[in-house]
Structure 1
Amino acid sequence: MSKKVIVIGGGIIGLCSAYYLQKEGHQVIIVDQSNLDSGASYVNAGYLSPSHIIPLSAPGVMRKGFKWMFNPSSPLYIKPRLNIDFLKWVWAFNKSCSQKHVNKAIPVIKDISVWSQDLYDDIKHNEHFSFHYEKKGLLMLCQTDKMLEEEIKTAHLAKREGLEATEISLSELKKIEPKVNIDVKGAIYFKCDSHSTPHEFMKEMKAYLKDAGVIFYTNEKVEDIEVTNKAIASIKTNKQVLKADEFVLAAGSWSPILSKKLGLNLLLQAGKGYRINVERETNISIPAILCESKVAVTPMNGFTRFAGTMEIAGISHEINKVRVDAIAKAASKYYPEIKITDSEKEQAQCGLRPVSPDGLPYIGKSSKCKNLTIATGHAMMGWSMATATGKLVSEVISETKTTLNLQTFNPDRKF
């Protein structure tokens, strides 16, 4: 049965939800407070990474977070503040930092990431999209023996999950990256990963959806939600009142603000990440994670992107130059011949990633509202999980059996 569906949020999750919903014959409207040309969906590393099987909330992360709290250039920064939602999130995050949670999360993350990668393949083929998309794998570059040992353990976990991961020697590294000097002790090579140029995919998907009849209301902020008998009757933007049969909340880091209007306290914090684009030849051909610095390096279409940091400090788009400098220094530390210039750093941009306490997204319906489907909280994995999330949203609203069990992603789950 065809339904009228309003998707709140026009980032990668919202667009993929709209894509699969219109494929099922639903009438779709996308509402977004921006012009749909900036944010986390445009400044991310472009990874499709089944290799990223360890959730952010892992043993030892909270301890590192407290230590890094006093280092403005640290990979993870959690700004302390007296805010009840933030304190509840910290408490839940700390509870999730256990090996038991990691063991439970690994197969779940792997399944949705692998499926999502397959769906990207399908979209590119079926819609004849031309966005940059390569399957060259991902290198985990380590400068210390301790980090290399940790990454070897992760590689063993990945192999047990059926992913292709191998430890490679420095001579092997030189063979696959012959044109760039890399200063490391060793590396892990995940051949299962892919990478893309995000803004190209976003541009093509928006154009496709408009041609398919999806309506876009941009620069419209949802200000209020009218609820009757545990169902959304309408939403009020700064420009109009909109009604629909079903609603999708895919507003990223802004999702908790709207969920409160429904009586749902969605534990979520904005995690700011930065990117620097280098639009000159770097000779880097394979994506890499600079492990000790937690910086992602991606050879995109016409430039190389250096991205990183996780700054839990509320909703803010202020550029912290110290953190941008840290990314630039990490690039030169691992790639001694690459020096990011001041002008390149001045063009740095940031995006806010929605971070759940347990490192798993919220996908599905809440008992608080029967015609709302939630799709947010993906943290650094939004790009990797977007297509599968959109497909699941469509399955929920179309009332068909979901491809994956949604219990682990339940928005009402307890922490």
Structure 2
Amino acid sequence: MKTITVIGGGIVGQFTAYYLSQAGFQVTVIDDLPAMPPASAGNCGLVRPSRVNPINSWHTLFQGLRWMGKKDAPLSIKPQLDYQFVKWFVAFAWHCRRSSVAQAAVARQQLLDKSWALYEDFFSKESVQSTWGKKGLLYTCITQDGVDYLRHDNEALPFPERHSRILSAQEVREIEPLVSEQVVGGGYCEVDGWLNPTDLLHDIRQINERQGVRFMNAQVDQLISKNRKVVAARCPNNEVSSEHFVLCAGAKSVPLARQVGEYLPVQPAKGYNLTCSTPLAQQPNLPVYMLEKKVVATPWSNGFRIGSTMEFSGYDLSLNPDRLNALKQAAESYMDISLDQVRMEPWAGWRPMASGGAPIIRPSRKMKNLTIATGHGMLGLSMAPATGLMVQEIIAK
């Protein structure tokens, strides 16, 4: 039985272990379980087949530059004289070309569609506590420019079945009565769904343990290589040998890959959230996307979360109070809710943003026994099942 070590225990790593163990491989997952949970646990739980187009666009690029220095901006680019970031930024701009966007959209569409089908199979087959909501995603806008942006977004999306249905203010409130009077319109995308990522991570880890997957709580400091093969993953207290390695540690994959000569065009983009561990007295019945502020509010039967923002500031996990306050202010502006007396836990985590807009899922170009799966950006949860299956198919060849 072939031994495989999966580096990274987020949702991509868990689904990778899930499909590898089902295929008969002996799997070990190494994850450092940091005090601040990874992006898989801290995202807003959206499963979004509608997000086919990457964020690569001149609009995004110039908006980020225009907001530079604004403390509470939804998108923040911290000036940094870092060669790796400059190289990534130039590549991101290059991939804003129409041909690159179209190529990335095809790759994303395939992963998103396959993952949705695999989620259907997973939730029907496995006994899990987590639930999957499939009532769609509600976009809300407090400006007419926001509504116009939704229309433009539809026009740019080459799949009509994934378009958002443009709504008047009254139609928005018919779907979600908690929407405030400031909202002038919006959209409804019924192909999207949502779940609680923390619950899902707990469930799939338990399933993996029952399937014989071994878990190690350790930080991988170094990949040791010899003759174009990774021979061990070095942790603080030991070294883990294996016949094959999978690197799927999100943004932390980049420095590890660099140790074996593999360049990954991925940068950490810090996202924030505030989470209440119990449901609010009044909360929306489906996820609400606040378009101008780029903030999402997600309701669960056992909690509530508001999150988003994208901050390019390197490998920094410090909590910016201005960004956390901006999340609260957005929620209270777009919805008739008050969060003043609500206890909410803050979080920050790194999204692995690939410069080309599509995740990197492939064999290493430098090591014969290393497979890479990272760069999913904000769609790790949406693409995880298909990524895990794809990794299993690559290794099984």
How do residues 130-145 of structure 1 correspond to structure 2 at under 5 angstroms? 130-145=129-144
Q: Are the aligned partners of 1:354 and 1:379 in contact in 2 as well (CA < 8 Å)?
A: yes
275-284 vs 108-117, greater mean Cα deviation = 275-284
Give the gaps of 5 or more residues in structure 2.
none
SS at match of 1:263: coil
| TM-aligned CA deviation for residue 102 of structure 1 | 2.2
SS at match of 2:161: coil
Q: Are the aligned partners of 2:140 and 2:172 in contact in 1 as well (CA < 8 Å)?
A: no
| TM-aligned CA deviation for residue 283 of structure 1 | 3.2
Residue 225 of structure 1 is matched in structure 2 by 223
Query: Which amino acid in the other structure matches residue 382 of structure 2?
Result: S
Q: Does 1:302 pair with 2:302?
A: yes
| TM-aligned CA deviation for residue 366 of structure 1 | 2.3
Give the gaps of 5 or more residues in structure 1.
400-415
How do residues 7-406 of structure 1 correspond to structure 2 at under 5 angstroms? 7-34=6-33, 38-158=37-157, 160-163=159-162, 165-181=164-180, 183-218=182-217, 220-278=218-276, 279=278, 280-335=280-335, 337-341=336-340, 344=343, 347-399=345-397
| TM-aligned CA deviation for residue 229 of structure 1 | 2.1
Q: 1:391 to 1:177 in 2, by over 3 A?
A: same
For residues 78 and 156 of structure 2, what CA distance do their matches in structure 1 show? 32
Residue deviations 1:272-323 (CA, integer Å, cap 9, x gap): 1111124422330121211110001111222221101101111122110000
**CA RMSD of the aligned region, Å?**
1.8
For residues 328 and 15 of structure 1, what CA distance do their matches in structure 2 show? 32
Q: Are the aligned partners of 1:155 and 1:188 in contact in 2 as well (CA < 8 Å)?
A: no
| TM-aligned CA deviation for residue 180 of structure 1 | 4.5
Taking every aligned residue pair, what percent have the same amino acid on both sides?
Answer: 32
32-41 vs 125-134, greater mean Cα deviation = 32-41
Q: Are the aligned partners of 2:40 and 2:197 in contact in 1 as well (CA < 8 Å)?
A: yes
156-165 vs 37-46, greater mean Cα deviation = 156-165
For residues 250 and 50 of structure 1, what CA distance do their matches in structure 2 show? 22
Q: Are the aligned partners of 2:266 and 2:375 in contact in 1 as well (CA < 8 Å)?
A: yes
Q: Are the aligned partners of 2:85 and 2:267 in contact in 1 as well (CA < 8 Å)?
A: yes
Residue 408 of structure 1 is matched in structure 2 by none
Query: Which amino acid in the other structure matches residue 106 of structure 1?
Result: A
Q: Are the aligned partners of 2:172 and 2:187 in contact in 1 as well (CA < 8 Å)?
A: no
Q: Count the aligned residue pairs.
A: 395
Residue 411 of structure 1 is matched in structure 2 by none
Q: Are the aligned partners of 1:124 and 1:130 in contact in 2 as well (CA < 8 Å)?
A: no
| TM-aligned CA deviation for residue 243 of structure 1 | 1.3
For residues 214 and 194 of structure 1, what CA distance do their matches in structure 2 show? 29
| TM-aligned CA deviation for residue 338 of structure 1 | 1.5
Query: Which amino acid in the other structure matches residue 322 of structure 2?
Result: V
75-84 vs 163-172, greater mean Cα deviation = 163-172
TM-score, normalised via structure 1 length: 0.91
For residues 182 and 122 of structure 1, what CA distance do their matches in structure 2 show? 40
TM-score, normalised via structure 2 length: 0.95
For residues 142 and 34 of structure 2, what CA distance do their matches in structure 1 show? 41
SS at match of 1:162: helix
For residues 73 and 36 of structure 1, what CA distance do their matches in structure 2 show? 25
Q: Are the aligned partners of 2:36 and 2:349 in contact in 1 as well (CA < 8 Å)?
A: no
For residues 20 and 191 of structure 1, what CA distance do their matches in structure 2 show? 29
For residues 293 and 179 of structure 1, what CA distance do their matches in structure 2 show? 18
For residues 263 and 201 of structure 1, what CA distance do their matches in structure 2 show? 34
